[in-house]
Structure 1
C-alpha cells in the first residue's frame, strides 16, 4: 500500500523533523501534540529549517510555501483517523508511548499502519497494545532528521511482510536509506553507539582527560564528526540514560551499567542542548 498521508504524534525535535521531511517530499502531514504552544514551536522550527535551506539554495521559496501548506497541526487524535501511516515520535518513555499507541489503535482504521520512532524499546511488546499487531512496526529515525539519511526498520514478531515492505518503500520515497533490523534492545546503531557514549562519561568521571580533549581525541583519532560527549548533549542526557537503563535491565549485564556521572547530570537537570547545559554549556536561543 503506498503511503501518501502521515500523522506524526509529537512536535518535538524528532517529530517536527519527520514532519518536515515528509512535507518536502509531497506527503500530507498531520502533526499532533498536547497543546498549541508546543505545536507552534514545532512549526517555527520547521519554518526556520526550511528558510535555511532556501538561503543555501537547496530549496525554493515556492517549495517552502508548498511544504508548509501540507502540514496541519492539531491537539486532537481524531485527525488521525483516515491516514495511511501514524508515527508516534514522543519521548523515549515506555508508559507514555504505550498510552499513545493504545489511544491511536482505538481510533484509526484497521488498514492504517502504526509505527513507533523508538530507539530502544521492544517492538514485539509494544505491538501487543495493537488490535491488529500485523500492521505495527518500528521506524527509528536519527537526529537531525532532515540531515540524517538512515532509518532503522524494526519488525516485531507479529509484523506482516506487507507492513514491512510498505514502510521500506515509504522511507525510500522520502529519500531515507532503510535498513531492516531484528527486534533486539538498541537495534544496531544505538546498541553500538550508546555504550561508547556511556564509556566517555566513565572516562570523564575518572579524570582521564577534559571533556574537550575526550571529544577532540575521538574526532581526530576515530574520524568522528562530533565527539561522544557533545553528541550526548545533542541527543539529550536523559535519553542517553533511559536507553542505557533499558540495556542494563534487558541484558542483565554490567557492561551496560549507566555511568554515575551521567545519572548525576540528569538528576541536576543538565540534559544537554535542550536545557542549555549538559556536559557543555550552550547559549539559549532568543525567543
Structure 2
C-alpha cells in the first residue's frame, strides 16, 4: 500500500482512451505504480502520450513538481498478464458488453484473489458483468466522469454479489485520489447516467426543433443552474456515439422517455461524434 493514500501500491487500467488515460493520471498523482494495458503497441504509445499531456498539465497547475518522476511510475503493456500484482484494476474499454466481459475475464485470470476489479461502465449492469467472473464478489463499478482531472465525482456502483469490505475500500480509495464517492445500487444508468442522459437528450431535442442554438442552451444551464458544463458540450466530450449507445440501452430498460432523438442518430451515422472527430454540436477542429 502507498504510505500516504492507502491505495494499493500497484494499480492497473485496461483501456487507454480519453477516459482510461484520465483514470491512470489520477492514480499516478495519488502515488501509485500504474500499468496501463492497450490492445497493441501503437494504441499503448498513444495512451502513454495522453497520460503524459495530462501530467504536464498538472505540473503547470502546481499539483506535482515535475513530469518525469510521475511518468516513471507508468508502465504500458499489451497483455493483461502485466497486471499481475495489482491490488486494483479498473476496466475502461468501450461500452460494448462482449468486450467488457472478455476483458474482465482476462483481468481476473491475471490478478491475485484479493485484488479488487472495477468497471468504469456508465450504464451496463454490474450484475451482468459479475457473471463473467469466477469470484463475482470482487467486482464493483468505479464510474469516473469526463474529463477525469476536472471532475470531483466517482460513482461507486454495488452489484448484488459485491463484497461490502471491497465496497468500503473503494470508497476510501476515491477519497485518496481527491474525489468524492457516491454509492449507488446497481440499476440501469445508475444515478448519474440516468439523470445526465435524460437532460442531454432533451437538449438535443431542443436543437432539433429549433428552440435555441447549442451555445444558448448550454449557457442556460451553466449560468442559470450553475452546471460546470452544458449538456451539449458535455455530449461532445463524452462522444455522441457513446451517448447514443447509452440512450438505446436505457430505452430498452426504462422505456421510451430515453428514446434517442433523430438528430443524435443522424449525427452519429454521419461520423460527427464530438471532440474526438472534430465536430459534434460544436466545432472542435482547432481544439
Place the TM-score, normalised by the shorter chain, in its bin: over 0.9
CA distance in 2, matches of 1:170, 1:57: 22
User: In the alignment, is the contact (CA less than 8 A) between 2:29 and 2:64 conserved in 1?
Assistant: no
CA distance in 2, matches of 1:178, 1:99: 27
1:261 to 246, 260, 263: 263
Who is 1:88 aligned against? 91
1:189 Cα shift?
1.4
**Pairing of 1:1-287 with structure 2 (within 5 A):** 3-61=8-66, 64-251=67-254, 253-284=255-286
Offset from partner CA, 1:187-234 (integer Å, 9 cap, x none) = 111111111100111111111122222222222222223221111101
CA distance in 2, matches of 1:4, 1:166: 14
1:169 Cα shift?
1.7
Structure 2 SS opposite 1:130 = coil
Structure 1: stretches of 5+ with no match in the other structure: none
1:18 Cα shift?
0.8
Structure 1 SS opposite 2:64 = coil
Offset from partner CA, 1:234-277 (integer Å, 9 cap, x none) = 111011111111111111x2111111111111111100000001
Structure 2 SS opposite 1:232 = helix
Structure 2: stretches of 5+ with no match in the other structure: none
Bigger shift: residues 41-50 or 261-270: 41-50
1:128 Cα shift?
0.7
Offset from partner CA, 1:5-58 (integer Å, 9 cap, x none) = 111001111111111111111111000001122222222122222222222333
1:284 Cα shift?
4.8
Note the aligned Cα RMSD (angstroms).
1.5
Structure 2 SS opposite 1:271 = coil
CA distance in 1, matches of 2:150, 2:204: 27
1:94 Cα shift?
1.3
CA distance in 2, matches of 1:208, 1:234: 22
Structure 2 SS opposite 1:111 = coil
* TM-score (ref. length: structure 2): 0.94
CA distance in 2, matches of 1:74, 1:128: 26
Structure 2 SS opposite 1:114 = strand
**Segments ≥4 residues shifted beyond 4 Å:** none
* TM-score (ref. length: structure 1): 0.94
User: In the alignment, is the contact (CA less than 8 A) between 2:93 and 2:100 conserved in 1?
Assistant: yes
